[in-house]
Amino acid sequence: MKTYGYARCSTNETKQDIERQKRELKAMGAQHVYHEYESGTKANRPELTKLLDAMEPGSTLIVTEVSRITRSTKQLCEIIELAKEKRLKLTIGSFVVDCTGSDLDPMTDGMLKMLGVFAEMERSMTIDRIKSGLKNARAKGVRLGRPTLTIGGIPKKVVGNFDKYSSGDLRFFV
């Protein structure tokens, strides 16, 4: 059967490098790797949906850690149920959950759900630290947000062509 890997980072490729996850997934035996830059709490992630739809009974889904597949305990429970229905094998780091045969034993099921709880808790703690840091910065008088744009910060080429753009002589196609 096929072995699939799933890699995820929350922000875009300029801020986070997903290559480490992809290398680790290949080393863990993933033949096909799906990846995306989306929040782990987001319910509708296109690549994860494609991956789960593509998986056939007996296939294996590999992730480097539970927080890569989801940051939501509820969504992890849904993925576990899908794995049971489709008779999939889940490999989460070194933790292997085989849903290809009979039902999961209560200890494995509980442990898997606890991993989900810890991933969700880790995200909540990260958000709290960020909020605390922002509050502290404001208290120190730090101005947050984008820097004010000045004419000196605009490329000369843009400033030089502004009149052409305003008059409609210069068009940009998106």
Q: Residue 132 catalytic?
A: no
Q: What is the pLDDT of residues 45-92, one digit of tens each?
A: 999 999 999 999 999 999 999 989 988 888 888 988 899 899 999 999
Q: What is the pLDDT of residues 84-142, one digit of tens each?
A: 899 999 999 998 888 887 778 888 888 888 888 998 899 899 999 999 999 999 999 99
Q: Please say whether the beta carbons of 100 and 87 come within 8 A.
A: yes
Task: Give the Cα separation of 78 and 136 in Å (integer).
Answer: 38
Q: Which domains does the chain have, with CATH numbers?
A: 3-125 (3.40.50.1390)
The per-residue pLDDT for 161 is 84
Going from the C-alpha of 152 to that of each of 90, 148, 160, 164, the distances in angstroms are: 54, 11, 13, 20
Q: For 26-42, how does the pLDDT look when each residue is reduced to its tens digit (9 = 90+)?
A: 999 999 999 999 888 88
* H-run or E-run covering 106: helix 106-139
Global confidence as pTM: 0.72
Looking at residue 7, its pLDDT comes to 95
pLDDT in tens, 150-174: 888 888 888 888 888 888 887 766 5
Residue tagged active-site, from 10, 59, 124, 167: 10
Query: DSSP per residue over 32-90, as a string?
Result: EEEEEE--TT-S--HHHHHHHHH--TT-EEEESSHHHH-S-HHHHHHHHHHHHHHT-EE
